[in-house]
Amino acid sequence: MVGIRMEKPWLDLSAEAIDALPAQLGVYQIADGQDEVVKIGYAGGLEQFGIRTALHRELEAGGTRFRTELTHGYLTRWEELLMVHLHDHGELPAGNSTHNQKLGRLRIDGAGPEQKNEASTKGAN
Amino acid sequence: MDLSLSDEQQMIVETVRRFVAEEIVPLEASLDPDAGALAPDDFERLVKMTKEMGFYGLDIPEEFGGPGLDTTTRALMAIEMSQHRAGLYNPCYGTFGGAGLAQLYEATEEQKEKYLYPTLRGEKKGCFALTEPSGGSDPARAIQTRGHEDGDQWILNGSKLYISGADKADFALVFARTSDDPGRNGVTAFLVDTDTPGFNVRRVVHTLRSTHYATEISFDEMRVSKDQILGELNRGFAIANDRLSRQRIPYAAGCLGAAIKAQEMAIEWAKSRETFGGALAEKQAVQWMIVDNEIDIRHARYCILEAAQRADKGERFRTEAAMAKLVASEASGRVVDRAMQIHGGLGMTKDLPLERWYRELRIRRVGEGPSEVQRLIMAREILGGSFK
Ligand SMILES: Cc1cc2nc3c(=O)[nH]c(=O)nc-3n(C[C@H](O)[C@H](O)[C@H](O)COP(=O)(O)OP(=O)(O)OC[C@H]3O[C@@H](n4cnc5c(N)ncnc54)[C@H](O)[C@@H]3O)c2cc1C
């Protein structure tokens, strides 16, 4: 069974760190200086060099810390991580605030806080 | 059996084929290869088109406002609608609308007001919660979710596994054991709002399918009122059997659509790709793969149309629907596998839809009843009642 939360240690986001990664598909989290998740993203089949391309974009956007998980099921895992974040924090990370597809509700281990993010619980699919 | 199409069917098939080629495939080119949804604007625009075409809500019976298509025409449309990358589990990305769970049409008027009509208007979504960790092939015996009567309520406890869309659903059709009968006569179907306390989606279940993931749910002292029973107490399996058998036909047809497209791609590639001084299409080994594909496709098409035609004539079609589901899911898997082989390395990549169909068709041999269970259904009818 895949662990529900991403719990790997954070790494500093730098061009060198990114280029050391395999050019695979997967999901990632970006954190701020306090290791608070500010964005959950994925590197899908359209990225030229998989997770490297996606993380270089995050570096340019000012991301400072990151962690990754390589997976072919990147879309499901990405959605799962968004749901888990919503469950744990009651809202999506700032970098995902424009997410416009309906997200599911998980009750992982006892009650989570009220979900505040309206955009994330309404949607078009 | 007459396999020719009426003029009307031919026109419908061509209309859907054009819609897929001109509206869906171009949008798909810029989506992630595993994507399961269109951008909201595109979705709305295409829904408007299918409404104008008079095809929205394809599976809604005519008396509920649907287009009133016969099963054969519906199957022919399903063959066309799945001929794109996401087509197996998201034919045309849902732009032809949904009909909701088949069982809802057997609900009381009050239940229809609460669940069916909002579903048909696109305001609510339901999920189907039958399979449990203890098994899904033989749910009548495997169901361990237990209902206990408490005044005018039932209290449900238990869990369900592989339930598609439970995390996003507004309501669930939940099957629970409500008597000491260990078989099908002890199971009741309940319509449950997913915000009911005790309805808990515990996790996402990761499968080969990249979109529409499955979930695991638990019911923890979940209270439902007696008027949430769908149909009769302890008769949960007696609901909508005819509609459920009928649904196997477009399910099979969806498998076939992907196979037809894979075969088209294989033929085109075999004609243009050269090895050892000549086109792949000149090699007998490749020709045989193409021929075997054609045999599989025609066999599946025959079984699907036979089942559909019998259903339209009001004849028994349970065996034929099971055969169509089994043949189409297995044959289409083989066709896509051969098409990948003919494409070599390219066939393994996400540059083509083949690898996605390959993964998703594998699920089709288990989902909606594994091949072995389809054989069991057929064996019962062929051998007669005493060999159950
Ligand atoms: C992606 C996905 C989505 C799903 N979505 C839903 C959903 O929304 N709702 C829902 O209720 N269920 C859902 N399912 C569950 C699905 O219907 C079951 O997986 C299926 O019915 C088989 O049940 P099981 O997995 O418990 O296998 P089991 O019942 O344990 O059977 C295992 C295998 O044994 C073999 N077998 C079983 N019976 C016989 C027999 N009599 N003779 C010979 N061989 C036999 C078959 O090969 C079968 O595959 C989903 C499954 C998947 C993979």
pLDDT tens-digit map of A47-85: 999 999 999 999 999 889 999 999 999 999 999 999 999
Atom 50 of ligand 1: nearest residue by CA position: B162
* DSSP assignment of B307-327: HHHHHHHT---HHHHHHHHHH
pLDDT at A122: 31
Strands B153-164 and B146-150: antiparallel
pLDDT at A120: 37
Q: Which of B366, B375, B383 most suits a substitution to test ligand 1, by most atoms within 8 Å of the C-beta?
A: B366
pLDDT at A100: 82
- Per DSSP, the three-state class of B163 is strand
Tell whether A70 is within 8 A of chain B (Cβ): no
CA B388, CA B379: separation in Å to the nearest integer? 8
Mutate to test the interface with B, among A5, A51, A76, A87 (most CBs of B within 10 A): A76
Question: Minimal Cα distance from B168: which residue of A?
Answer: A104
Residues B202/B160, Cβ–Cβ less than 8 Å? no
- Per DSSP, the three-state class of B370 is coil
Q: Rounded to two decimals, what is the model's pTM?
A: 0.94
Element (H, E) at B127: strand B126-129
* Cβ–ligand 1 contact at B205 (below 6 Å): no
> How far is C-alpha B227 from the geometric centre of its chain's CA atoms?
29
* pLDDT-flagged residues of chain B (< 70): 386-388
pLDDT at A111: 46
Categorize the per-residue pLDDT at A1 as very low, low, confident or very high, splitting at 50, 70 and 90.
low
> How far is C-alpha B262 from the geometric centre of its chain's CA atoms?
19
ipTM: 0.90
* Torsion, CA B162, CA B167, CA B173, CA B174, rounded to 10: 60
Residue among A44, A76, A125 minimizing CB distance to B204 = A76
With the C-alpha atoms ordered B206, B207, B212, B214, is the resulting torsion angle positive or negative?
A: negative
- Residues of chain B with Cβ-Cβ distance to A125 below 8 Å are 36-37, 43, 94
Beta bridge partners of B199: B219
Q: Which residues of B are catalytic?
A: 368
* Cβ–ligand 1 contact at B15 (below 6 Å): no
The pLDDT tens digits for A84-125 are 999 999 999 999 999 988 899 998 875 444 444 333 333 322
pLDDT at A2: 59
Burial label for B54, CB within 10 Å (0-12, 13-18, 19+), is exposed
Return contacts of B123-126, CB within 8 angstroms, 24+ apart: B124/B170, B124/B171, B125/B165, B125/B168, B125/B169, B125/B170, B125/B171, B126/B100, B126/B101, B126/B169, B126/B170, B126/B171, B126/B172, B126/B173
With the C-alpha atoms ordered B353, B354, B355, B361, is the resulting torsion angle positive or negative?
A: positive
Tell whether A59 is within 8 A of chain B (Cβ): no
Domains of chain B, CATH where assigned: 7-103 (1.10.540.10), 126-230 (2.40.110.10), 241-382 (1.20.140.10)
pLDDT at B240: 75
Question: Minimal Cα distance from A46: which residue of B?
Answer: B32
How many other C-beta atoms can be found within 10 angstroms of the C-beta atom of residue B132? Answer: 21
- Residues of chain B with Cβ-Cβ distance to A108 below 8 Å are 202-203
pLDDT at B243: 78
